[in-house]
Structure 1
């Protein structure tokens, strides 16, 4: 099939298929969820994480590929950088897997169709609440069918902002920069959250509950769904210097337009 164009009926058809796939994956993951889970060591954590990924992948991969027969699958969900030309599925089978295996509630299933390195359609499904976040290029962002709008705040001093690690084992330089940015934002914003995963903060930005999120990484699967949701909800998405964000960018900032310039000032003050 040819690449998707901004055709509302075609986007709607693809979105319906994505929703069905992520809900099936989410229900599989829900069945595996144990609120009492308390892994004892790293080996057990890795085992449980891999088990979750494999179980959801078995349910979600083929239906998504069937939606766009010429599409390809981005295999490494922790990878960053630009993709080859064409249509690609960027999927996080368990966004927040580390939370899931520790009996915590902040996890979801996400799927984004990317065309020539631009997110076209995305879905985030949160099985524990049944919340479904969707966005299609030029069509707006929605939570359970209700249109989303980012925060109207203009004062960073009144803002709830957040950041977090993209993956375990980040470079020391990135971790030190993250720590410095948290300190800078603690001095500049109202409240700062530091948690994982990225998507579970970005859905709050898109919904206007949080005002900004930044991250010093380029992990595709953690940023693409939120980038499209926030953008379609009227937010501003750039890198931390205010340049256009792409899959080749080394960092990320999504925020309400009214505080974006000030957030950039704070983050670029780190050097």
Structure 2
């Protein structure tokens, strides 16, 4: 297995094309409840199985982890594909275009390759460690914002399920602090969109007090390769083991981290 993750980018793009076809040609179908206000559609499962089968054939030495059906195999050299078959399932279920497929490649706990396709927006993002990030094959860079007052900041979804009330205290505190200082606050309902829009410069930062690898692996490497900084809530570099996912243009990262620290100390 090559150490150059870029060599696997064509395979990742092929896998995401398989997913795109399913997402854009099928209705959500039967909805399966996974917990309190958490669900998966027939399309989530169909995409995961189709992408897993494709990657099994093309990269049998690489492990695979999917959101819906878990780990299908362990990989050699610490490499693992990580897939969210439909990131933004609730948006997809309600006919909103803010959803897509997110496929990352992780070495150990560090994302090294990512492809995110937002098929209803016509946007295909890709990045490999050390080789920059692209949108529809054109290079992208994060914004040059230098002050929180000039920044548009996305926040991750509020928690649901067990312990949601406690978890949402910090989320609501962050929302309040951002509302008082940032130019605007947004919630898009998709971790993949939050991260690639930071990478593209559509928004200047995103704050998610959560970190599921299928939600963030692909977007983290795309954001980093576009020049954004990505950290855990304590400021350490982000990995799949982090507790939070905070990405920002370099000029606003210090303000964002200070705000997160203030909110979570309350």
What interval of TM-score do these two structures reach, taking the shorter chain for normalisation?
Answer: 0.7 to 0.9
Partner of 1:188: 181
| CA offsets 1:20-42 (integer angstroms, 9 cap, x no match) | 111111111111147xx9x9997
**1:69 pairs with one of 56, 60, 65:** 60
Q: What is the TM-score of this pair, normalised by structure 1?
A: 0.86
Map 1:242-261 onto structure 2 (within 5 A): 242-261=235-254
TM-score with structure 2 setting the length: 0.88
| Cα offsets for 1:124-167 (capped at 9, x unmatched) | 01112332100000000000111110000101001000112276
- Asked if 1:164 corresponds to 2:126, the answer is no
4+ runs deviating over 6 angstroms: 39-43, 45-48
Q: Which runs of no fewer than 5 residues in structure 2 stay unpaired?
A: none
User: Could you tell me how far 1:183 is from its partner in structure 2?
Assistant: 0.4
Whether 1:49 aligns to 2:49 is no
Q: Which of 107, 112, 129 does residue 121 from structure 2 map onto?
A: 129
**Deviation of the 1:68 alpha carbon:** 2.3
2:209 aligned to 208, 211, 216, which one? 216
Cα separation, 2, equivalents of 1:196 and 1:48? 14
1:1-16 alignment to 2 at 5 Å? Answer: 2=1, 4-6=2-4, 11-16=5-10
1:228 aligned onto 2:221: yes
Q: How far apart are the structure 1 equivalents of 2:226 and 2:148?
A: 19
- How far off is 1:107 after superposition? 0.7
Q: Which moved more, 1:23-32 or 1:134-143?
A: 23-32
Choose from 98, 104, 107 the match for 2:99.
107
**Cα distance in 2 between the residues matched to 1:256 and 1:147:** 16
* Residues 46 and 242 of structure 1: CA distance in aligned 2, closer, same or farther (over 3 Å): closer
Contact 1:48-1:101 within 8 A present in 2 as well: no
Q: Which has the higher strand share?
A: 2
- Specify every segment of 5 or more residues in structure 1 that has no aligned partner in the other structure, as ranges: none
Tell me how many residue pairs correspond in the alignment. 258
Change in Cα spacing, 1:46 to 1:59, as seen in structure 2 (3 Å) is: farther
Distance 1:13 1:91 in 2: 18
The RMSD of aligned alpha carbons is 2.8
| 1:18 alignment partner in structure 2 | 12
**Which whole-Å CA distance do the structure 2 matches of 1:18 and 1:170 have between them?**
35
Out of 26, 29, 33, the residue aligned to residue 23 of structure 2 is 29
